Structure 1
Amino acid sequence: MNKIRTILVACCLLPVFCSCGEVAKRMDAKLAESKAAIGIVENTKADGVGESSLSSGSKKSSATAAATAEYKDLEIPARLTSVSEQILRRTGYTVSYNSERRVPNWVAWCLTAERLTGNSKRSDAKFHEDTDVSEPRAVDFDYVRSGYDRGHMCPAGDNKWSTQAMDESFLFTNICPQAPQLNRGDWNEMEQACRKWAKQDGALYIVCGPIFYKNSKKTIGKNRVSVPDAFFKVVLCMTGEPKAIGFIYKNGDGNRPKGDYANSVDEVERITGIDFFPVLPDDIENKVEATCNPDDWNI
C-alpha cells in the first residue's frame, strides 16, 4: 500500500515476523520520515492550539509506563489531508478533531492491563467543552433533548487509572452524538470486550471514530454538531503473533453478535479513508490489516 508515513513511534518486538534488530531499524527509518510531517509536539502547541501534557497529573504505574513507552504512538493513524484536522494530545488518548463537524475524526489510545485498574470514578467527572478548540464548538446543551447520547469514543472505563485522564475523557472533543440503543448496547459491549482482551494480552492499540456518508447533513444543537451515520473501531494486538480486526456499527438500533460487525482493517480503511497503524513495517501491516478472523478474538 502506498501510504503517507506520518506518525512518531518507538520500536517494538515482533519475533514472529523478523528479528528485533530488523524491526527496530525499519521502524526507526519511519520515525525519521515522520518527524517533519507529523505536527504533533509533546508538551507544546500543535496546529496553533495548546495541548495537554501526556504526563502532567497522571499516576501511571511503572509497568504501564514501560508498556506505553515501548510501543509509543503505534495506535495513531496517518495525518488526514482531505478533512479538517487538529491534533490534540490528552493524558489517556490522542484526538484528530474536525472543527467543521465539531466531533473527532478519530480517537486513538493504548489500553494496557494496568490502565484498567485505579480509583478514578466516572461519577466524579462531568461533560465539558474543550477550550483548546475554536468556537463554534460542542457544548453540553447541544445534546439536551436531541435524542442522542453523549457517546464516548475513548471510554471512561478505560481511564480509571488517572483522575486527569478520566476528566479529559469527558471533553466534547472525545464525544459524538450516538443513538442510545448503540451507546448503551452493542458499542458498550465492544468496549468491555476490548478490556477483556487487554487483560489477557497486556496491551491493545485502539482507534475509533465516526463515519459520515456522502450526503450526511444531520446536526444537533445551536452549534450544529454533526450526527454520524455509523462508527468504526479498529484494534491491534502485538502480543505473540500480531493480529488486528475492525468493526463497523450503524448509528442506530442494534442487538447483534460482535462478529456481525467485524471487518478487516483494510475494509475500514476503505470506508473511512483513514490509514491505520502506518508505522508498522509494510509486510506486517499488510498481513494483519488484510485478514478478518473473529475466531482469533473469540467472538
Structure 2
Amino acid sequence: MLKSWTAMFAAGSVISLLVVVSSTSALRGQPQPGLAVASAGSIHLALGNPSGATEDPANKDNFLVSKPQYALSYNDANGIANWVSWRLNKNDLGIQGRCKDSRGRDFFAADDSLPTGFKQIKPDEYDFPVNGFDRGHMAPSADRTANRPDNCATFLMTNMVPQRPNLNRQVWESLESDSRQLVTRNGRELYIIAGPGTKRGTIADNRVMVPASTWKVVVVLDAPELGLAGVNRNTRVIAVNMPNTKTISGNWRSYLVNVDQIEALTGLDLL
C-alpha cells in the first residue's frame, strides 16, 4: 500500500506525504490473485487491502466483506470490523435521509451476508442505557445519501463499533462533516479507512469488543477524474486516533497523528 510514500509529517490539520509513485500498478498490498473477482474489483480497495483479508470463511477473524457501498475486514472473535474502507465523491451524496424502519427509527440490522457460523451481532446488543456505548458508524450514513439502499447499507452492524457518545456524536462526527465538505465545497474525492484501536473491554456478554480508541485515515484527491494516478507530493492525508472515552472533547485536529503510528497500533498496512 503506497509504501513508497517516503516522508510523513503533521502540518496543522494535514499530513503531507512525499510520493515517489503515482500509478496503481505500484501499489503494494492489493488483493492477490486467487481472491474473488468482487474483492479485487472493489473501488473501495483502491488503496489496497490493509490486512490481506480474504473471502475464505475459514478466515473468520480477517474475513473480507465487499459491498457496493464499502469494503471491510470482519473479525468474528471481536464482533466488529478490523477496518472499513470506502471512496467518497459527489456521486455518493444526495438528498436521501437516514434509513428508517416502519416505526421511524434508525434501521440498524444484523449483516446476513456473513457466512453460516459467524456471529450475527444484533442492534440491541449495543444496549446504550446499560453499557453507555453508541452504535458508531465507521462508514457514515451521511456519506451515502444518493439512495436508500446505499444509506441502509451503512446501518448494518458489521459497520458499527462501540463508541462513547461524546466521541460518536461530537469529535468523530465533526471530522466526518469536514471531510464531506471537501467533496461538496471543493470538489475533492476521498479514500477513507477507519477502524478500532486496541481492546479496552467487551459488551454484549463478551460478544463485542470495545476499543480504547477509533482511528481514521483520509486521502484527499484534488483531481478526482485522475483517480490514484493524480497522487503527488502535495496530496493531503489526514490521520487521527481518538480516545473512546466518556470525556473526549475538542476539535478533531487535536487528535492528529501520522499514519505510521496507526499502523504500529493496529498492525495494518494502510498506505
Between the aligned partners of 2:214 and 2:30, the Cα distance in structure 1 is 31
Contact 2:183 2:190 in 1 (8 A): yes
Between the aligned partners of 1:119 and 1:33, the Cα distance in structure 2 is 32
Q: Does 1:41 align with 2:13?
A: no
The alpha-carbon deviation at position 89 of structure 1 amounts to 1.1
- What percent identity do the matched residue pairs reach? 28
Contact 1:115 1:159 in 2 (8 A): yes
Equivalent residue number for residue 258 of structure 2: 264
Contact 1:76 1:207 in 2 (8 A): no
Q: Does 1:73 align with 2:45?
A: yes
Q: For residue 154 of structure 1, give the secondary structure of its aligned residue in structure 2.
A: coil
Q: Does 1:129 align with 2:127?
A: no
Contact 1:84 1:99 in 2 (8 A): yes
Contact 2:28 2:48 in 1 (8 A): no
Q: Does 1:99 align with 2:76?
A: yes
TM-score with structure 1 setting the length:
0.68
Q: For residue 77 of structure 1, give the secondary structure of its aligned residue in structure 2.
A: coil
Cα distance, 1:30–1:183 mapped onto 2, change above 3 Å: closer
Between the aligned partners of 2:122 and 2:251, the Cα distance in structure 1 is 34
Q: Which amino acid aligns with 1:185?
A: Q
Partner residue of 1:233 out of 203, 216, 220: 216
- The answer to which structure, 1 or 2, has the higher relative contact order (CA under 8 A, 6+ apart) is 2
The alpha-carbon deviation at position 17 of structure 1 amounts to 6.6
Q: Does 1:187 align with 2:184?
A: no
Between the aligned partners of 1:174 and 1:33, the Cα distance in structure 2 is 22
Contact 1:85 1:96 in 2 (8 A): yes
Contact 2:30 2:48 in 1 (8 A): no
The alpha-carbon deviation at position 30 of structure 1 amounts to 4.7
Contact 1:93 1:109 in 2 (8 A): yes
Between the aligned partners of 1:123 and 1:258, the Cα distance in structure 2 is 29
The alpha-carbon deviation at position 80 of structure 1 amounts to 4.1
TM-score with structure 2 setting the length:
0.75
Cα distance, 1:147–1:97 mapped onto 2, change above 3 Å: same
Q: Which has the higher helix share?
A: 1
* Mapping 1:272-283, distance limit 5 Å: 272-277=266-271
Between the aligned partners of 2:208 and 2:192, the Cα distance in structure 1 is 24
Partner residue of 1:159 out of 144, 156, 161: 144
Q: CA RMSD in A?
A: 3.1
Q: Which has the higher strand share?
A: 2
Equivalent residue number for residue 248 of structure 1: 241
Between the aligned partners of 2:189 and 2:217, the Cα distance in structure 1 is 14
Equivalent residue number for residue 11 of structure 2: none
Between the aligned partners of 1:210 and 1:31, the Cα distance in structure 2 is 23
The alpha-carbon deviation at position 148 of structure 1 amounts to 0.7
Between the aligned partners of 1:107 and 1:236, the Cα distance in structure 2 is 14
Structure 2 residue runs without a partner (length 5+): 4-17, 54-58, 224-233
Contact 1:99 1:137 in 2 (8 A): no
